[in-house]
Amino acid sequence: MRTLWLQKPSTDMLSQFVAEQSVLDFSYSAVGATAETPPDGFIVDRTRIDLGAGESVFETAKAALQRWQQFRLGWVEAWSPETPLEVGQTVAIMGWAVGLWWLNSCRIVYTVEESGDTNRFGFAYGTLPGHVESGEERFLIEWDRTTNQVAYDILAFSKPNHILTRLGYPLVRRSQKRFGRDSAASMFKAVNADSTLPVVLQSTS
């Protein structure tokens, strides 16, 4: 199935796309590397935002991540938002840019649920052949119990996997940075409806 659409794909089309992609292998070899060291040859991006303090903030942020709140951006959507955060689950990611809907596919590689001095909850997914990029992205909620602070953190490594993303790579990079900022803002608002958005920290290597 094609990855570029003039109109937003229908539910039936998305279901077919996910079914087709779910039987395919990942489009990169370093599967799971966001849990350790990202591989050479990829752009590595990190985004981080403070969400607040305390267990209630951590639990609210966990619930937001479980319903894919980080993708409810208007110009980016995850389908289906009911997809459980379980290893092996495949999801379609739609993005609106340059007058087109870009349809992409990812599979959950691993999940995170840790307790200790820092509690962590999240997951990582990796790209499948029906994705215009190649790489992996991890979404993580962290509660540092020594400081009581809760943060949302994104770590991703990627490179182009489509002729149009290679030709328009400067635009792709702007969209990736925008996604990080908007995703952070969406998660913050899910936890702090009436608060002023703090600084979103972003870095690239």
pLDDT band, residue 1 (cuts 50/70/90): low
Bridge partners, residue 44, by sequence: 157
Assign 166 to helix, strand or coil: helix
Torsion of CA 105, 110, 116, 121, to 10 degrees: 20
According to DSSP, residue 36 is labeled: S
Nearest CA-CA partner of 66 in 134, 113, 18: 113
Q: Which helix (H) or strand (E) holds 5?
A: strand 4-5
pLDDT digits (tens, 9 = 90+) for 30-69: 999 999 999 999 999 999 999 999 999 999 999 999 999 9
pTM of the model: 0.95
In order of their start, the domains of the chain are 26-76+106-204 (3.30.2030)
Q: Which helix (H) or strand (E) holds 82?
A: none
Cis peptide before 15 (omega within 30 of 0): no
Pairing of strands 201-204, 100-114: unpaired
Q: 178 Cβ partners below 8 Å, 6+ apart? A: none
pLDDT at 87: 98
pLDDT at 100: 86
pLDDT digits (tens, 9 = 90+) for 129-160: 989 899 999 999 999 999 999 999 999 999 99
